[in-house]
Structure formats: C-alpha cells, structure tokens
Structure 1
Amino acid sequence: MTIADPRSTTPVGAPSRSLPPAAVETAPPGTWRGRPVSGWRAWLVTVDHKRIGLMYGTAALAFFVIGGVEALLIRAQLAGPDGRVLSADLYNQMFTMHATSMIFLFAMPMAAAFGNYLVPLQIGARDVAFPRLNAFSFWCFLFGALVTNSSWILGGAADGGWFMYAPNSSVTFSPSHGIDLWAIGLQITGIASLTGAINLIVTVLNMRTKGMTIMRMPTLTWMTMVTQFILLFAIPVITVALFLLTFQRTFGARFFDVEAGADPLLWQHLFWIFGHPEVYILILPAFGIVSEVLPVFSRKPLFGYPFVVLSGAAIGFAGWGVWAHHMFASGVGPVTVAVFSVSSMAIAVPTGVKIVNWTLTMWGGKLSFTTPMLFAAAMIVEFTIGGLSGVTHAVSPSDTQQTDTYYIVAHIHYVLFGGAVLAFFSAFYYWWPKIFGKCLDERLGRWNFWLMIVGMNLTFAPMHIIGLQGQPRRMYVWTEARAGSGVFDLGFWNLVASIGAFVLAAGIAVFFLNVVRTHRRAPRAPRDPWDARTLEWLTESPPAPHNFDVLPEVHHLDEFFHRKYADVGTGSTHDMRRVATADEVIAAEALRPRQPIHLPSPSYWPVLVALMLPVIAFGVIFFVPAAIAGTAGVVICLFGWALEPSVEPTPH
C-alpha cells in the first residue's frame, strides 16, 4: 500500500514532529492484510525491529525479577546457620534456575533487546535484514524460556546447576523432568540466539547507510556484531551438548556413561567451549554501551576508537581458547593446564586496553555525572575488580584451591553483575528518552544507583572472604561449628551478604518505581537531552516505524555530533564550536529529497512457527505423538510463511 503525504514544511528549529515521508510502501501501522489490528494482536504480528526490541527487553526484565527472587531465597537460606527457608532439594533447584534465569533469560535477551532496537538506527537502516525472522527469534526466546520455567509446576525445576555436569544430570540422580525441560527449553532459546545472530550480522554488513564505513560504526554496533559472530559458532556447540543430554535422559542413550565406555568430561568440554565465549557474549554488549555513554558525558570523543573496536574483536577471537580453565581440577593433565593458564592470562590484555581507553576518555573531559554516567563509571570499577579476581583463576595452583568455593561466586558476580548489569542500567537511563520520549527521573536514578552499588558490594565482596575460608559453593546449609571467629567469621559475612542482597533488591525496586513515575508524570523529553553523538538521535523520539524520513549520509565517526559542532581550531589545535541545535539538524534532514520507503508487512507466521516448538518439546518428554504433530505444524506454518508476500499489494 502507498501512503502519500505532503512534504514537511516544519521550520528550522521547530520542536514539533516532522510530517510522514512522501511515500511509504507498506500496510498502515496496525493493519494486517488490510484489516485493522490493534491492542495485543498488533504486538503478535509486528515485525518492527523497535517493537521486537521492546518485547525482548520487557521479557528479559521479567526474568530478571524472577531470577532476583530466586537469589533472595538463596541468601535468606544462608543468612544464618542451619537455615530452614529451603530444603536441600529445593535449594538445588533454586540456584540452578537462578543462574539460568540471569544468564540465559535476562542478560542474553537484554543484549538482544538493545541490539534489535538500536543497531538499525545507529547504522541508518529502516529495519533489520530479515524482519519476520527477527520476530521468530523473539517468540522462540519467549516460548523456550516458558518451557524452561514450566518445570516449577510440572514436578520440580532442574537441579543440576546451570553447568549440568554429568553424571549428576542423569536420570539416576535427578529423576524428575526438570532437567529435561531445562535442556529442551534452552535448545529453543538457542534457535532464537542463532537466528538473531544471523539477522544482525547481515544487517550490519549489508544495510549501513551511505558513508557508514566499518570504522565509522558506533562502538555498540561493533560490539554487537562481534557478539553475534561468537553466538553464531557457540550456539551449535551447546545445542549438540543439550541434544546429547536429552537423548541420554529421554531415550536411554549413554553418551556420558562411564560403564558404557563414555567419558563424562565430554560434557564439560562441550559445555565450556560454549560457556566461556558465553561470558563475552554477555560482556561485549556492555563494553559497547559504556563506550557510547562515556564520550557523551565526558564531552570528548572516545579515546583510541580503533583500539577499542579491535580489542573487542580480539576478545571475541581469543575467548575460544580459554575454556579449560574451568576444568583445572578435573584431571585434564599438566600440558593442558599450562596452555590454558597462559591463554587465560593473555585474554586479559585486550580487556585491559578497553579499561585504559575508557579512563583516558574521561581524563581531562568535562564530566557530567548524570545517572547513565554514574552507572557507566561504576561498571569500569566493579568489572575491574572482577577481572583482577579472574586473573587468579588463570594460575592453576590458585584456581585448584578456589574452585567450588564462594570465591568463584564472588568473581562471576563482579564480572556479570558489576559488568553487564550495571552497563544495562546505564543504557536504560541513557536511551530511555530515545525509546519512550521521556527522561527517567534523576533523583530516583541516583537512589537506584547508590542502593545497587552499596547492595552489590555488600553482597559479593564478603564472598571473597568466605570463599577463601573454604565455604563451598552449592552448600545449602552451614553450621555454627564452621563459622570461625573474628574477621573471618563465616556467620558474620554470610549475614552481611544476605543483607546486601536485600539492599540490592531495594535499588532495583526504585528503578521500577522510576519507570512507573516517569510514565505517569514526566513531561516529554527534548529531542537531544544528552547532546549525543551517534546517528540514532538524528530522528524523532520515539522513532517513526520507518526510522528516518530520509536515510542520512555519514561523513564522520559520531556523525550527529559533527552536524552540531564544527572544528574552528587551527593546525593541530581542536576547538569544537556549536553551529546548530539538534532540532535544526533534524529539520534540515526533513528538507532533503525523499524517496518511497519500503517496509515489511506484519505476519502471524513467526509466532505460529515458534508456538509449535513447545508442542514438540512437551511431546518429546511426555507424549511422542504430540511431538510428531508439532513437527507437522512447523512444516505447515513454514509453507504459509514462505507463500506469504513480504509486502502488502498496492491498490490502484
């Protein structure tokens, strides 16, 4: 369908929205095959990358809350000796699902949320390369997550730890269907990650606007692309492992059975070949976020942009050579231990490069400590602490003593919570006005920040002490006799960690309060509230379905900044002076010649195909004919998908 509108006549500097473009080749928003679709149905059929990003983010935050509740129950159990909040069996389920929720169901999809929403805007594209595949990716994630969590009401959740080591994951030691649902649910979410990775890689490589060379891409886009390449090769590895586990538990295969001549270490190798690149899948988008936020609030360009992006690529490559440092205590042999010790130390170098670059970006800058900047700066500090404790794990004698103690728990939380989660909160505050048109409240934002920082350090710093004192991981009770005394009193530090967890939860609750308050009361934000630098701000907030009325042309790194400022310095001296406001820049874009805009039509087929996957999952576990019916449903829905036109027919 073609919608014709007069060209915008908005004067330069006017704050109102520009009119729609001259011709948009698509069904009008909220229609499917020419029929009106509104409310929740419009979200079912959407293929708009921005709406899909919002759905990813909303679902991820829901599982963040679920994972947080699981963590609070764990800390309540361990707050004092001989805890009675959870039984041993329920405790095993709780810590397994806590890690699963936070890693697979929050951190990974939250990175996908920012990638989906922002990457097309940052490269000047109208949408992703495969919009319906993008929708399919989200629905696969959601249904896979629901399958994984359905175990809570179907006989008990998975209880073998998120690493699910053999033979503990066998039917002998875990006879319920919790691990079965965990394994098949994660295979479905793996389909989401794999299809999403292909989509974003093709989008970045092929859909950049004119002048957007590879070394003019924003750092978030760069880190997102590197992450997708890691996913492209990591997801098949964990899929193979989960497939073998499913067949062993459901159909009696013996892939990890010592009595059949198999080796349980096969599972560990498969899992950690995925599991350590997984750490960088989680942290590289956070690096991209911090690299976007710091220059804006330091009022200077990112120091050493080429080194930042190339070190990110180096991390993505080197991350494949360190997996066995998770296995130093498993008897893999001295040569293997030596090789992986060296590689684990070496990967700290490109990470250190980024920390130096971020520090020098702030050095000498005109720092503005808004809430996004506070979270970004705190991320550098907390992640560095986690990185330093991580280097001790590269030293095999030290790691042998630390492994399976709470020292490891402290390390991973400083890396993932102090790294990824703090960066995500920085991104929430920074891009909220872009996505919703309103700025989150700064006063509540500071309460959110300080409660989270205090709570995080109260929770995880004591775990270094109790770990080095020998408290094992995955221990559901500790006794007064083991408590110790003085500064090494396990009872005192366990209580401090539990109090810190609830302080941290209070900080996160303030964030949700901020969201509700902003939605109800906050006025509309300016077009450019932060004096931003990158291309996503060269359009309305929130953006129109087609993103840009006219696709921008790029001449610089930080194109939006260079349209607002000119270098009036002489020689090697740089003196950036403002020459235009954001309103003037956006209004000037609206005056450029326009062309018809192609947008894909909404479709029900992605959600229907994805819906068949839980049918197959439950059928494999409970009733095989249902799995056969689900497979037939997938085939039928794929035929419907293939035969559906990508764009609505244009009427005469």
Structure 2
Amino acid sequence: MAAITTTPGAHHDDADPNASFLEKKGLMSWLVTLDHKRIGIMYLISVTIAFLLGGIFALLVRAELFTRGQTLFDADTYNKMFSLHGVVMVFLFIIPSIPAGLGNIMLPVQLGTKDVAFPRLNLLSLYIYWFGAVFGLYSMINGGVDTGWTFYTPYASSDPAHGGVGSATSVIPMTLAAFIMGFSSILTGVNFIATVHKMRAPGLTWRRLTLFTWALYATSIIQILATPVLAITLLLLTMERFLGLGIFDPRLGGDPVLYQHFFWFYSHPAVYIMIVPGMGVVSDILATFSRREPVGYMAIAASSLGLALLGFLVWGHHLFVAGMSEWATMVFSALTFLVAIPSGVKVFNWVATLYKGSISLQSPMLWALSFVFLFTIGGLTGLFLGMLAVDVHLHDTYFVVAHFHYVMVGGTVMGFVGGLHYWWPKFTGKMYEEGLARIGWFLVFIGFNVTFIAQFIMGSRGMPRRYYDYLPQYEIFHQVSTIGSWILGLGFLVLLVMFIRSLMNGKPAPRNPWGSAALEWLTPTPPPTFNFVKDPVLTRGQYDYQLATDDELYEGFDDPLFPGLRGGKAPAKKAAAEGDHG
C-alpha cells in the first residue's frame, strides 16, 4: 500500500513532524492552530454542544405533548421550543457535523497529504461558524423564534414592531445566524474540492479514493452551489422584515410562494449535504467490518454525485399543496422518484458487500447496519410523499415528521455516531468500552423506533404536526412517542459518558484496531502533526484486502468473534477471495 519514498517538508506549525498532533498544550495552541485535525475536533465539540441543546428542546416538546392541554408550558413557548429544536439541529449540528467535523479530521489523512489545501481558510470557516452561533445564542436568550426552522413568510417577515402582523420573536438574529454559518459551509466546500483535486498522494488515483472521500466531494459541490441561494433568501427576508420591502408579504405586493421556491431550492439539496456524508461513512465501515472491497465501488461513488445533481431538481415536491400547476406537480413528482435510483444503488451494493463477507459486529458496524435499515425505511416512506395524490393527505402531518427523522436521525446521526466510533481510536489515541458502546447503541435504536413509528401511525391517521393540543384518539400515540424519546435520550447520555470515560481513562489505541486496509490506518495513532512520518505512495486500492500485507491489516487488531485468530485473518482472506471469484 505505502512504499515510503520522501520525507515531509516544512509545515505551517513549528512542531516535531513525528510528534502527535495532540502533544502541544494550552488553549491558544488550539485557537490559532492550522492543523486540520485540531480544527475538526473543535468542530466536533461545537456540534456536540449544539446536538445536546437541540436534544433538550426536543425532549421538552415531547414532554409537553405527553398529555392533552397544557402539561409544562403554554402554546407560545411550545412554538418556540419546536422552532429552536429545528434551527439548532439543522444549522448548528446536522449540516456541519460530518463534513466539517469528521471530514476535517479524516479527509487529508485518507488522501495521504499533510493538511487541507487552504489551512487558514479552514480556521476562518470555524470562526465564522462560531460567529453565527453567537447570533443564534443571542436570539435564544432574547426570546427565541416561533417560526419553525423554515422561517416561512409572511409570518417570519412581517414584524409587529413595524406595523406587521407576523412573529414578534427574535427572527432577525436567528436568520442572520443561519446566513453567517452558510459562509462557513461554502468555505469548507471550496477547501475540500481543492484538497481532493490537488493534494492526493502519489498513486492515489480517483478510483482509489475512499467512498467517504467521494461523499465529501459530492457534498462540497452542493455546499458551494446551493448555500448562496439560502443566503440570498434569508437576506431578502431580513430586508422585508426590517425595511418593509414587498418581496414575500402579499400585503406589500409580495408572494409567499416565491419564498418557498427559494428556500427549498437550497433546503432540499441541503438534505443531501446532511445524508451523503453519512453514506460515505457507512460505506467505509461496511467494507472494514466485512473484510472486502465494496461491491460496485464506482457505482456507489457515482451515486453520490448523482444525488448531488438530482437534489437540485426536486425542490417542488415541498410545494404540492402551495398552489402549483398540474404540469409542475407531475414533473416534480417524477423527478422525486428518480432520487430513489442512486439511493437504491447504494443500499443494494451495501447488502451485496455484506454477502459472503467476514462480518464482525463491533460497535461501528452496529451503527452502520442501523443506518442501512433506518434509511431504507425513511426512503420508502418518502415515496408516499412524492406522490401528489397521497401527499395532499399526508402533508403537514406527523407522517412527514417521522419520515424526516428516519432520514436525518436514522441516517445522518447514525452515520455520524458510527463514524465517531470508527475513527475515535485514531484521532484520540484512546479506546472506548465496547460494552457501553453496545448498550448506548441498543437504547438509541430502540428509543428511536418507538418514538417515530408512533408518529407514522398518528400522521397517517391525520394528526397535524406542530400542534400544541390534539384530539383524544391521538393521546396514546403521543405518550408512546414521548416514552421512546426518553429511551433515545438515555442512549445518547450513555454514549456521552462512554466517550468522556474514554478520554479520561481509555486504554491506548493501537495503530489499526479494526484491521482496515485503508490509508488512514497506516499512520501512527494518534497521527503526527503532518499525518504521516513519511509521505505515502500507494501501490494498491484502499479496500484491497488481497494485496494488503499482514502488518498493514492486523497490527493491534483484536476481533472478539474470532478468538485465537489474529483478527480474523483467515476469514478475511477467504471472504475476499470468495467475493472476487464468487
């Protein structure tokens, strides 16, 4: 895999090139660092805080809905709770979580390079994210918003302080927060595309990239092309609210449907900013814990680019009940079904990869398998919403809420947590407790399904979303859903404790604890400042278990399913052979 030919040159940080990137101490060494791994870790800390905050809002919403009428707070506060849950989870957590967090840490290592193409731009993107988060925090302290995460006009753009009849909450600071954080997303996308094109190690051709790298590349294209549309839209909303311009408000001569077109032209591609990186994580995990090259490697890579393209063509299915022509609804419905093709390509190739593989059910693999199962449910239920005749009945019901969460939580969050489990030993140098990891996974998996299957049922029976109160026949489903949310929250609490215990008292991690053939597992754990002691030159593919040497695969690898074997060496080789010739 890695014939070593050259030594690294000068780097932006004055540090021993062979020292761990974690060796430098002090807060300032982190705040001014240009090391992509440290920047990625600061992103991870930031999005984890956002996830915990958004999760608290979600638990408060579910607690309020446990009984009919007022349980904890009034209707206005309830509207703010679900709005803040959505805004925090989408803009502060899900969008940056995998690309800016795990992607920043692992992409240059997977490419065999010392850093991203523009290290200073990378640090700037982090500070822009923090700057936007400050505006969001100010909005929360100043009363929050009650518009939902979509900021629909004219309610969000009409300010009672200027004679309007819309929301009296802190809308402008929150829209500015999303506006500012959009620039962070754009800069990250530019950096990643330049890095993939210009910073690959010798021998690392396009067909030798990891599928996680392909996913980040496709995601970066969406970030660059779609995010400016959101920025312009939110800027127009702010101008209408603050200056009274007639853009979206019909009282001023505007058109609220125009806002929906603008917003969803970004926000549906944004769904793939959230989900495609998770697909890349899952592809890498499935290959590692099946001990074989992914079936249909190029098809999976191409499907990531296909999702990036098709994501720009289907925004109209969010507007089926907003007043479009019959021709437009038919076109958008047909285009929506096309999205199932690249998604189906991934799922079928993942299942084929598992077939005849030497499967090891360690904790990262459990999260990856959960992703495949839950994302499939989310995708299939999305087909209902893509059909006009069905969507007019299910639109704005809890069916949509459940579908969205099966894709975002069952997909993106499962991929994020799975990737965190998978690469945690590499970038922290510490192992975690496998027993706690399995308990956390079990609670999250069970709690998630209990929470949202109940919402599928009540949504199909007509329960509208975002309602503070509801009819008696829905109470049992709300109670089941709330109990599921408590189990889900407990599962994430277990995982938080597990990762903290790992940082404090975890056993030192070996170089390659999972027996992967990929490039990132050939560098020391944790990686040195420049990622590799010497520059790697690739002579095989990153999933080629046949050509990988024993020292590359099995150093430090311990699979409890194959005691006595050196990390399941014989099954791995056998499975790879069967996969090649079967």
TM superposition score normalised by structure 1:
0.80
SS at 1:382 equivalent: helix
Contact 2:320 2:329 in 1 (8 A): yes
Partner of 1:529: 513
1:84 and 2:84 aligned: no
Is the alpha carbon distance of 1:436 and 1:468 closer, same or farther for their aligned partners in structure 2, counting shifts above 3 Å? Answer: same
1:284 corresponds to 2:282: no
Shift of 1:83: 2.8
**Unmatched tracts of structure 2, length 5 or more:** 17-22, 557-582
Q: Which amino acid aligns with 1:152?
A: M
The residue aligned with 2:486 is 502
How is 1:106-145 mapped onto 2 (pairs within 5 angstroms)?
A: 106-111=93-98, 112-145=100-133
The Cα shift of 1:261 comes to 2.6
Give the Cα separation in 2 of the matches to 1:274 and 1:86: 34
- The CA distance in 1 between the partners of 2:260 and 2:129, in whole Å, is 25
SS of match in other structure, 2:200: coil
Aligned residue pairs total: 540
Runs of 4 or more, structure 1, over 6 Å off, are 20-23
1:208-251 deviation per Cα after TM superposition (whole angstroms, max 9, x unaligned): 11111111100000000100000101101001100101111112
Mapping for residues 214-225 of structure 1, pairs under 5 Å: 214-225=206-217
In structure 2, how many angstroms separate the alpha carbons of the residues matched to 1:230 and 1:70? 29
Looking at structure 1, the residues matched to 547 and 94 of structure 2 have their Cα atoms a distance apart, in angstroms, of 34
Look up the match of 1:100.
87
Q: Which amino acid aligns with 1:271?
A: F
Counterpart CA distance in 2 for 1:581 and 1:412 is: 39
Q: What is the TM-score normalised by the length of structure 2?
A: 0.90
Question: 1:315 and 2:307 equivalent?
Answer: yes
Amino acid of the structure 1 residue aligned with 2:313: G
- Identical columns (%): 37
- SS of equivalent to 1:423: helix
CA distance in 1, matches of 2:168, 2:115: 44
1:343-364 Cα deviation digits (max 9, x unpaired): 0011101100100000011011
Alignment of 1:454-603 (within 5 A): 454-478=446-470, 482-484=471-473, 490-558=474-542, 561=545, 564-565=548-549, 578=550
CA deviation vs aligned residue, 1:510-548 (integer Å, no higher than 9, x gap) = 001101221222211111100012111111111111111
1:434 partnered with 2:426? yes
Question: Partner letter of residue 78 of structure 1?
Answer: L
Residues 355, 37 of structure 1: alpha-carbon distance in 2 compared, 3 angstrom cutoff? closer
Residue matched to 1:574: none
- Once the two structures are TM-superposed, the CA of residue 468 in structure 1 deviates from its matched residue by 1.4
Q: Secondary structure at the match of 2:246?
A: coil
Which residue is 1:41 aligned to?
28
Match of 2:14 in 1: 28
Distance 1:26 1:287 in 2: 32
Tell me which amino acid in the other structure corresponds to 1:202: A
**1:278 positional shift:** 0.7
Looking at structure 2, the residues matched to 463 and 445 of structure 1 have their Cα atoms a distance apart, in angstroms, of 27
Which SS does the other structure have where 1:460 is aligned? helix
Query: Matched residue of 2:311: which SS?
Result: helix
Within 5 Å, give how 1:202-213 maps onto structure 2: 202-213=194-205
Name the amino acid aligned to 2:229.
V
Q: 1:259 to 1:492 in 2, by over 3 A?
A: closer
TM-aligned CA deviation for residue 51 of structure 1: 0.4
Q: Which amino acid aligns with 1:263?
A: D
In the other structure, the counterpart of 2:570 is none
Q: What secondary structure sits across from 1:320 in the alignment?
A: coil
Alignment counterpart, residue 67 of structure 1, candidates 19, 33, 54: 54
Q: Distance in 2 between matches of 1:22 and 1:231?
A: 31
- Structure 1 residue 166: Cα displacement: 0.9
How big is the shift at 1:152? 2.0
Alignment partners' CA distance in 1, 2:421 and 2:13: 33
**1:596-615 Cα shifts (integer Å, max 9, x gaps):** xxxxxxxxxxxxxxxxxxxx
Cα distance in 1 for partners of 2:41, 2:144 equals 28
Taking the TM superposition and a 5 Å limit, the aligned residue runs for 1:134-283 are 134-154=122-142, 156-169=143-156, 170-171=158-159, 172-176=164-168, 178-283=170-275
Aligned alpha-carbon RMSD (Å): 1.9
Q: What displacement does 1:252 show?
A: 2.0
**Amino acid paired to 1:269:** H
**Contact 1:325-1:344 within 8 A present in 2 as well:** yes
User: Does structure 1 conserve the Cα–Cα contact (< 8 Å) formed by 2:290 and 2:359?
Assistant: yes
Distance 1:386 1:29 in 2: 47
Output the amino acid matched with 2:226.
A
Question: Is the Cα contact below 8 Å between 1:556 and 1:562 reproduced in 2?
Answer: no
Contact 1:77 1:477 (C-alpha < 8 Å) held by counterparts: no
1:329 counterpart SS class = coil
Distance of aligned partners of 1:224 and 1:37 in 2 relative to their CA distance in 1, 3 Å threshold: closer
